[in-house]
Amino acid sequence: MIKFILMVNRQGQTRLSRYYTPVELSRRALLEADVVRCCLSRKKDQCSFVEYKDFKLVYRQYAALYIVVGVTDSENELSVYELVHNFVEVLDKYFSRVIMFNLDRVHIILDEMIQNGHIVETNKSRILAPLNALDKMADG
């Protein structure tokens, strides 16, 4: 299963984090810093899966943004790797500007895709359905 998902920039600042297994608040910052350091230090030709403590990190880089997913050993790495891309494509489809201003919406999207560390929905239009409904309400 998926343990957490992080979005960080190249400076190592966390832009979004979502945990699916309980991690104490005080330890999150430490964990995030360490995980980010682990991924940022890797080169392009290195593999996108990193063994980290007793689980694995799957990461993908989009320009200055890194998305890092912590998964248990039993998870299929490639499918998570593509899940990240699917997520980014959904974000692309919905947002035209910097997503940081719309963190709540990013969370809605993420919650539509992953719940509890498991994939629930991969169909882009269904992922965006609640948000679009929301926007219609606001317009109306």
Partner 1 sequence: MPAVSKGDGMRGLAVFISDIRNCKSKEAEIKRINKELANIRSKFKGDKALDGYSKKKYVCKLLFIFLLGHDIDFGHMEAVNLLSSNKYTEKQIGYLFISVLVNSNSDLIRLINNGIKNDLASRNPTFMNLALHCIANVGSREMAEAFASQIPNILVAGDTMDSVKQSAALCLLRLNRMSPDLVPMGEWTARVVHLLNDQHLGVVTAATSLITNLAQKSPDDFKTAVSLAVARLSRIVTSASIDLQDYTYYFVAAPWLSVKLLRLLQCYPPPEDAALRSRLTECLETILNKAQEPPKSKKVQHSNAKNAILFEAISLIILHDSEPTLLVRACNQLGQFLQHRETNLRYLALESMCTLASSEFSHEAVKTHIDTVINALKTERDVSVRQRAVDLLYAMCDRSNAKQIVAEMLSYLETADYSIREEIVLKVAILAEKYAVDYTWYVDTILNLIRIAGDYVSEEVWYRVIQIVINRDEVQGYAAKTVFEALQAPACHENLVKVGGYILGEFGNLIAGDSRSSPLVQFNLLHSKFHLCSVPTRALLLSAYIKFINLFPEVKTTIQDVLRSDSQLRNADVELQQRAVEYLRLSCIASTDILATVLEEMPPFPERESSILAKLKKKKGPGHLPDIDDARRNVNGSTEHSENAEAPKTGSNHPFTDLMSVNSPPPVANSLLVDVFSDISTPAPVDVCEENFSRFVCKNNGVIFENQLLQIGLKSEYRQNLGRMYVFFGNKTSTQFLSFSSSVASQDSLKAHILSATCVLSPQLNVHAKTVDPIIEGGAQVQQILNIECVSDFTDAPVLTIQFRYGGALQNITVKLPVMLNKFFQPTEMTSQDFFQRWKQLGAPQQEVQKIFKAKHPMDSEVTKAKILGFGVALLDGVDPNPANFVGAGVIHTKSTQVGCLLRLEPNTQAEMYRLTLRTSRDSVSQRLCDLLSDQF
Interaction site with partner 1 (CB under 8 A): 13-18, 20, 22, 25, 28-29, 32, 42-43, 45-51, 54, 73-74, 76-79, 81-83, 85-86, 93-97, 100-105, 107-108, 111, 115-116, 118-126, 129-135, 137-139
- Nearest distance from C-beta of residue 46 to partner 1, angstroms: 4
Structure tokens at 50: 């990193």
At closest approach, how far in Å is the CB of 132 from partner 1?
Answer: 8
Other CB atoms within 10 Å distance of the CB of residue 7: 24
Minimum CB distance to partner 1, residue 83 (Å)? 7
Q: In whole angstroms, what is the distance from residue 67 CA to residue 18 CA?
A: 12
What is the DSSP secondary-structure string of 81-124? HHHHHHHHHHHHHH-SS-GGGGHHHHHHHHHHHEETTEE----H
Tokens of 130: 């609640």
Please report how close the Cβ of residue 26 comes to partner 1 at its closest, in angstroms: 8
